[in-house]
Structure 1
Amino acid sequence: MTLEKKPKAVIVGGSIGGVSCAHTLILAGWDVVVLEKSYQAPTGSPTGAGLGLDPLSLQLIQSWIKDPELLKRTTLPLTIDQNDAVDGEKKVRWTLTRDEKFNCRAAHWADLHALLYHALPPNLFLWGHHFQSFSISSDKRSVQVKALSLQSNETVEVIGDLLVAADGCLSKIRQSFVPDHKLRYSGYCAWRGVLDFSGSEKSETIVGIRKAYPELGKCLYFGLGSGSHTVLYELLNKRLNWIWYVHQPEPDLKSDSMTMKANSDMIQAMHKEAEKMWLPEFVRVIKETSHPFINAIYDSEPLEQIYWDNVVLVGDAAHPTTPHATRSTNMSVLDAAVLGQCLKKWGAENLQSALEEYQSIRLPVVSKQVLHARRMGRIKQGLALPDLQSFDPKTANPEECQELQQRLMPFFSDVPSILV
């Protein structure tokens, strides 16, 4: 007797989307190899980004890891979504909207990645392998992927039945199918940082910020000023995650990353501007954060398709989005879950049917969510919309303020039937 060979998937990109797909494809009965240009798995460094996980993502991740309680122990609740107006001149703030049934949890990116990565079988990742190109066989039944080993400088070839493009918003794989599809600059960038206050819990800064924002540890705080807004929430292990969105011309990105380092002069100028716009308690948090960095904020017009032959897009490769609706990570996790279930349902012998169903489920959802996140960002930044005047937090009426709530996101709490 001979055992039937398992189908094989090559995943390009080992971020949250890629590592989530590794879980779901293994559960669907596939062999998996992940190509990732980083030399090793990321560690829980104090810099990096925070993220919010919605109830469905939490449920899915818990089903993938060996000890589902680990997820609760590495996240903090975000049960409240609150939008406040901030008057920088008078140094006062007041609440515009408050949703006490938000039911999300806050995680540090590196913590979540480590949780997912260590729950996988060993030796799936080819670390330090930079994707170069791919080719589809003439019968459309296999795909050959070439990657450069950054350690040996040799080209490695991997052949699989399916190529999963989890290579981010600047996806080279997506570009090969839709070369004219461009990213859209939002008109603003984000200063970001994570303040590690372990050992200084009783400092003036931490006592002050907890007094000004008493529900840190369970609340997602948005602060809306004049043509700008901020985000503040607590992460596990005594860390505060903050974001400040600032209008500026499109930056000249020097690499394949949306993240830019800031020099000391840039940081000092940012501190001075923060003093004019925000409450002193929030400004102190910004000033005490080591190595704040800048994210250029992009999205793109929704794609018309997210698979071709035996190549499929997931995560930011499929739907670059602005971060205002805490969707990016949740979209990636759900992409992975739906893809895995479609492959399990149809089997490798019916790959086209599986990818067609994946696209039919996810494309209408992510297209609307990308456009809604764009709309939320423009409202909170005080930018004009075709159907709305620029939002002014000082004069906005209750109906206008409702547009700020996260739960207005299309398909906010929907669960695809294939996952039920």
Structure 2
Amino acid sequence: MKESKRKAKAVVVGGSIAGISCAHALIAAGWDVVVLEKTRSPPTSCATGAGLGLDPLSQKLIDSWIKQPHMLQLNTLPLTIDQNQAIDGGQKTSWVLARDENFNYRAAYWADLHSLLYKALPLGVVWWGHMFLSFSVSDDKTCVKAKSKVLQRGEIIDIVADLLIAADGCLSSICQTFFPDHKLRYSGYCAWRGVLDFSDNEKSETILGLKKAFPDLGRCLYFNIGSGTHIALYELLNKRINWICYVNQPEPVLKGNSVTMKVSSEMIEQMHESAEKIWLPELVKLIRETNQPFMNVIYDSEPLEQIVWDNVVLVGDAAHPTTPHGLRSTNMSILDAAVLGKCLEKQRVENTSIALQEYQSIRLPVTSKQVLFSRRLGCIKQGLVLPHHQPFDPITASEEDCEELQQRTMPFFFDIPSVLL
């Protein structure tokens, strides 16, 4: 009787979009997958939730995983225009710097996208309430053991697998075991952000004014550039406006394992007063009427020299923390997962290391350049000094300077890895 082929097994640390995407990609490749996530249940909402933009390749990959292509369309809005414009708050005027009408992204709310991906997984793949503690690789490098704490019972368990996938974010403990001296790099600015739900008040003065000032809301990603600051603005499904305002400031002191800061009512009022001096009245009203705005401290890191070791691999923000200006974080995570899945599908389980080396050779050069470009784009839009580059001034900027603001100038913007073709 012919011996059946053993099914390979992977443990994914982190149940955010990067980890859930890896589960989809590896299951499609024929692997068994367990996702360890310390939160105790699937998110039903996101207190610090925000919007994100999905590029055409990510849309295609998500469609292939959820098997219901119309669902992604129903849960997102089109972003067919990428527009950068200057705003003079003092004069209450604005003018277009660069406009791309062939953008072809879609706007998603984080919690909506996560729910869509999670519900498309088989039951039992994600182990909620399991806090990853540590891992060890066998002496012969054939397997890896992940140690996890079951939070409900306080029990410590071991999971033995062929592969450990670190999808545990920009503060990845797994990355730290390989690069103990590697630190995040503070960008020089923070992001105030929020989502205004106007479903119960579509005809308010604020919404009518906003849509008059930004007539392509609902299909346009607006970048509004002021003096030493900028705001990203776009609409989400179900009558919600997502905004992100970047503010140059010294690095704040973070508490705990998060780049999201708790903000006081005094901090919010200071932010409102600052907005009054810089932005158009329509933007100021949007900011003032948003409940529970929050602050993210913006970091990236110098590109890593490697992201695979024997049977351990980094994906998503664990592999390449990035600033948000190129809309790459979620898209890079989804593409990481898809490429990893295809590389593993081509190899037998005993050749996992070969698959991981191929994954690294495909993704590392791309993500490294995209991280550095996103950094540069953020500095330009924030009016920060760059080597061999004068601070960007929207009043004196040349046409070439303005073209550089567009998303499509991102390295590998149109690239599809051959392994996915």
Fold shared by both chains (TM-score > 0.5): yes
Output aligned runs, 1:8-407, within 5 Å: 8-45=9-46, 47-407=48-408
Q: CA deviation at 1:46?
A: 6.8
Q: Show structure 1 runs of 5+ residues with no match.
A: none
Kept after mapping to 2: 8 A contact 1:46/1:196:
no
Corresponding letter in the other structure for 1:395: T
Corresponding letter in the other structure for 2:201: S
Give the whole-Å Cα distance in 2 for the aligned partners of 1:252 and 1:129. Answer: 28
Supply the RMSD in Å over aligned alpha carbons: 0.9
Corresponding letter in the other structure for 1:326: L
Deviations 1:317-369 (A, max 9, x none): 00000000000000000000000000001121210110000000000000000
Give the whole-Å Cα distance in 2 for the aligned partners of 1:17 and 1:147. Answer: 19
Aligned to 2:412: 411
Give the whole-Å Cα distance in 2 for the aligned partners of 1:347 and 1:41. Answer: 33
Matched pairs, number: 420
Deviations 1:133-171 (A, max 9, x none): 000000001111111222112212111110000000000
Q: CA deviation at 1:40?
A: 1.1
Partner SS, residue 346 of structure 1: coil
Corresponding letter in the other structure for 2:384: L
Aligned to 1:5: 6
Q: Show structure 2 runs of 5+ residues with no match.
A: none
Q: CA deviation at 1:381?
A: 0.2
Kept after mapping to 2: 8 A contact 1:47/1:194:
no
Give the whole-Å Cα distance in 2 for the aligned partners of 1:236 and 1:357. Answer: 38
Q: CA deviation at 1:265?
A: 0.7
Normalised by the length of structure 1, the TM-score is 0.99
Partner SS, residue 241 of structure 1: strand
Deviations 1:83-141 (A, max 9, x none): 00010111111000000011100000000000000000001111111111000000001
Corresponding letter in the other structure for 1:117: Y
Deviations 1:380-411 (A, max 9, x none): 00001112100011221111111101100000
Q: Which one is further off, 250-259 or 46-55?
A: 46-55
Q: CA deviation at 1:47?
A: 4.6
Give the whole-Å Cα distance in 2 for the aligned partners of 1:130 and 1:392. Answer: 47
Partner SS, residue 346 of structure 2: helix
Partner SS, residue 151 of structure 1: coil
Kept after mapping to 2: 8 A contact 1:46/1:195:
no
Corresponding letter in the other structure for 1:223: N
Corresponding letter in the other structure for 1:192: R
Identity fraction in percent? 68
Corresponding letter in the other structure for 1:293: F
Give the whole-Å Cα distance in 2 for the aligned partners of 1:356 and 1:61. Answer: 24
Give the whole-Å Cα distance in 2 for the aligned partners of 1:262 and 1:394. Answer: 34
Q: CA deviation at 1:5?
A: 2.8
